[in-house]
Amino acid sequence: MTVKKMKRRAILAFVQNKPGTLNKISMMIRRKMYNVDTLTVCKAKAPGVSRMTITLREDDEAKVLQVIRQLEKFTEVIRAKELDRDQSYWREVAIVKFELEKKSLEKLQKKYQIEILDAQPHDIYIVQIAGPTERIDSFLKDLGAEHFIEIARTGVTAMDK
Protein backbone atom coordinates (compact mmCIF):
# COMPACT_ATOMS: atom_id res chain seq x y z
CA MET A 1 0.00 0.00 0.00
CA THR A 2 1.41 3.40 -1.01
CA VAL A 3 0.81 6.51 1.02
CA LYS A 4 -0.18 9.50 -1.11
CA LYS A 5 2.05 12.50 -0.51
CA MET A 6 -0.07 15.61 -0.16
CA LYS A 7 0.88 18.96 -1.63
CA ARG A 8 2.79 21.27 0.69
CA ARG A 9 1.15 24.67 1.06
CA ALA A 10 2.52 27.86 2.61
CA ILE A 11 0.30 30.48 4.22
CA LEU A 12 1.77 33.89 4.96
CA ALA A 13 0.07 35.83 7.75
CA PHE A 14 0.83 39.22 9.21
CA VAL A 15 -0.42 39.34 12.79
CA GLN A 16 -0.40 41.65 15.77
CA ASN A 17 2.53 40.79 18.01
CA LYS A 18 0.47 40.06 21.15
CA PRO A 19 0.53 37.24 23.71
CA GLY A 20 -1.82 34.42 22.76
CA THR A 21 -1.95 35.13 19.02
CA LEU A 22 0.14 32.10 18.06
CA ASN A 23 -1.89 29.84 20.35
CA LYS A 24 -5.18 31.12 18.94
CA ILE A 25 -4.04 30.46 15.37
CA SER A 26 -2.60 27.01 16.08
CA MET A 27 -5.77 25.98 17.96
CA MET A 28 -7.94 27.01 15.00
CA ILE A 29 -5.78 24.97 12.61
CA ARG A 30 -5.90 21.99 14.99
CA ARG A 31 -9.70 22.22 15.23
CA LYS A 32 -9.84 22.04 11.42
CA MET A 33 -7.87 18.77 11.71
CA TYR A 34 -4.79 20.01 9.86
CA ASN A 35 -1.31 19.13 10.91
CA VAL A 36 1.06 22.09 10.79
CA ASP A 37 4.18 20.97 8.93
CA THR A 38 6.31 23.96 9.91
CA LEU A 39 5.75 27.31 11.54
CA THR A 40 8.15 30.23 11.54
CA VAL A 41 7.55 33.61 13.11
CA CYS A 42 9.61 36.79 13.11
CA LYS A 43 9.15 40.52 13.55
CA ALA A 44 7.80 42.30 10.49
CA LYS A 45 8.93 45.72 9.30
CA ALA A 46 5.95 47.45 10.91
CA PRO A 47 6.22 47.90 14.70
CA GLY A 48 4.05 45.53 16.71
CA VAL A 49 3.53 43.18 13.75
CA SER A 50 4.84 39.63 13.30
CA ARG A 51 5.27 37.75 10.05
CA MET A 52 4.17 34.12 10.22
CA THR A 53 4.80 31.38 7.65
CA ILE A 54 2.66 28.28 8.19
CA THR A 55 3.16 25.21 6.04
CA LEU A 56 0.74 22.33 5.93
CA ARG A 57 -0.03 19.48 3.55
CA GLU A 58 -3.31 19.69 1.70
CA ASP A 59 -4.39 18.96 -1.89
CA ASP A 60 -7.86 20.53 -1.63
CA GLU A 61 -7.71 24.19 -2.63
CA ALA A 62 -11.05 24.91 -0.93
CA LYS A 63 -9.77 23.69 2.43
CA VAL A 64 -6.71 25.95 2.24
CA LEU A 65 -8.91 28.92 1.35
CA GLN A 66 -11.13 28.04 4.32
CA VAL A 67 -8.11 28.16 6.67
CA ILE A 68 -7.11 31.58 5.25
CA ARG A 69 -10.67 32.93 5.63
CA GLN A 70 -10.78 31.65 9.23
CA LEU A 71 -7.43 33.30 9.96
CA GLU A 72 -8.64 36.61 8.57
CA LYS A 73 -11.63 36.54 10.96
CA PHE A 74 -9.28 36.92 13.94
CA THR A 75 -8.86 40.53 15.04
CA GLU A 76 -5.14 39.82 15.58
CA VAL A 77 -4.64 38.84 11.92
CA ILE A 78 -3.91 41.81 9.68
CA ARG A 79 -3.64 39.85 6.42
CA ALA A 80 -3.25 36.23 5.30
CA LYS A 81 -2.71 34.60 1.92
CA GLU A 82 -1.34 31.48 0.31
CA LEU A 83 2.04 31.80 -1.37
CA ASP A 84 2.26 30.41 -4.89
CA ARG A 85 5.22 28.01 -5.01
CA ASP A 86 6.30 29.30 -8.44
CA GLN A 87 6.05 32.97 -7.44
CA SER A 88 7.87 32.79 -4.11
CA TYR A 89 11.05 31.60 -2.44
CA TRP A 90 10.79 28.84 0.19
CA ARG A 91 13.85 28.26 2.36
CA GLU A 92 14.92 26.62 5.58
CA VAL A 93 18.10 26.02 7.54
CA ALA A 94 19.35 22.85 9.18
CA ILE A 95 22.19 22.39 11.63
CA VAL A 96 23.42 18.80 11.56
CA LYS A 97 25.85 17.00 13.85
CA PHE A 98 27.25 13.77 12.43
CA GLU A 99 30.24 11.44 12.31
CA LEU A 100 31.87 10.98 8.91
CA GLU A 101 35.30 10.56 7.33
CA LYS A 102 36.88 13.81 6.17
CA LYS A 103 37.06 12.65 2.53
CA SER A 104 33.30 11.91 2.46
CA LEU A 105 32.60 15.25 4.14
CA GLU A 106 34.56 17.09 1.44
CA LYS A 107 32.41 15.46 -1.28
CA LEU A 108 29.23 16.53 0.50
CA GLN A 109 30.63 20.03 1.05
CA LYS A 110 31.30 20.44 -2.68
CA LYS A 111 27.90 19.10 -3.70
CA TYR A 112 25.78 21.03 -1.16
CA GLN A 113 27.92 24.07 -0.22
CA ILE A 114 27.50 23.28 3.48
CA GLU A 115 29.18 25.48 6.06
CA ILE A 116 31.27 23.67 8.65
CA LEU A 117 30.52 25.23 12.03
CA ASP A 118 32.65 22.90 14.14
CA ALA A 119 35.07 20.01 13.66
CA GLN A 120 35.49 17.78 16.72
CA PRO A 121 37.73 14.80 17.45
CA HIS A 122 36.83 11.38 15.95
CA ASP A 123 35.48 12.84 12.67
CA ILE A 124 32.49 14.53 14.29
CA TYR A 125 31.23 17.64 12.50
CA ILE A 126 28.53 20.22 12.97
CA VAL A 127 27.44 21.84 9.71
CA GLN A 128 24.84 24.27 8.47
CA ILE A 129 22.92 23.83 5.24
CA ALA A 130 20.39 26.32 3.90
CA GLY A 131 18.06 26.29 0.93
CA PRO A 132 14.89 24.66 -0.33
CA THR A 133 13.59 21.80 1.82
CA GLU A 134 14.31 19.34 -1.00
CA ARG A 135 18.01 20.28 -0.96
CA ILE A 136 18.23 19.66 2.79
CA ASP A 137 16.35 16.37 2.47
CA SER A 138 18.70 15.30 -0.33
CA PHE A 139 21.76 16.18 1.77
CA LEU A 140 20.43 14.14 4.70
CA LYS A 141 19.72 11.18 2.42
CA ASP A 142 23.24 11.36 0.92
CA LEU A 143 24.75 11.64 4.41
CA GLY A 144 22.91 8.53 5.57
CA ALA A 145 20.90 8.13 8.78
CA GLU A 146 23.59 5.92 10.29
CA HIS A 147 25.88 8.98 10.52
CA PHE A 148 23.43 11.34 12.30
CA ILE A 149 24.03 12.36 15.87
CA GLU A 150 21.62 15.29 16.03
CA ILE A 151 19.68 17.59 13.72
CA ALA A 152 17.83 20.89 14.19
CA ARG A 153 15.72 22.44 11.42
CA THR A 154 14.16 25.88 11.35
CA GLY A 155 11.07 25.11 9.32
CA VAL A 156 10.14 26.85 6.10
CA THR A 157 10.08 30.58 5.70
CA ALA A 158 8.84 32.04 2.44
CA MET A 159 8.60 35.32 0.56
CA ASP A 160 6.97 36.49 -2.67
CA LYS A 161 9.34 37.21 -5.56
1 falls within a domain: no
pLDDT, position 1: 57
Q: Is the model's pLDDT at 151 over the cut of 60?
A: yes
What's the pLDDT tens digit per position in 7-29? 889 999 999 999 999 999 988 88
Rg value, the chain, Cα = 18
Judgement on whether residues 79 and 104 belong to the same structural domain of the protein: no
Q: What is the DSSP string of 124-143?
A: EEEEEEEE-HHHHHHHHHHH
pLDDT, position 33: 76
φ/ψ (deg, to 5) at 125? -130, 150
3 falls within a domain: no
Q: Which amino acid is at 49?
A: V
| C-alpha 101, offset from chain centre | 29
Give residue 110's domain range. 89-160
Which has the closest alpha carbon to 45: 78, 91, 89, 92?
78
Domain total of the chain: 2
pLDDT bucket at 58, cuts 50 / 70 / 90: confident
Q: Is the model's pLDDT at 5 over the cut of 80?
A: no
Judgement on whether residues 79 and 100 belong to the same structural domain of the protein: no
Three-class SS state of 92: strand
Residue ending a domain, among 39, 65, 83, is 83
φ/ψ (deg, to 5) at 48? 80, 10
Judgement on whether residues 51 and 110 belong to the same structural domain of the protein: no
2 falls within a domain: no
**Angle, vertex CA 10, rays to CA 7 and CA 136, nearest 5:** 75
More confident of the two residues 4 and 8: 8
Judgement on whether residues 70 and 38 belong to the same structural domain of the protein: yes
Number of C-beta neighbours around residue 82 at 10 A: 16
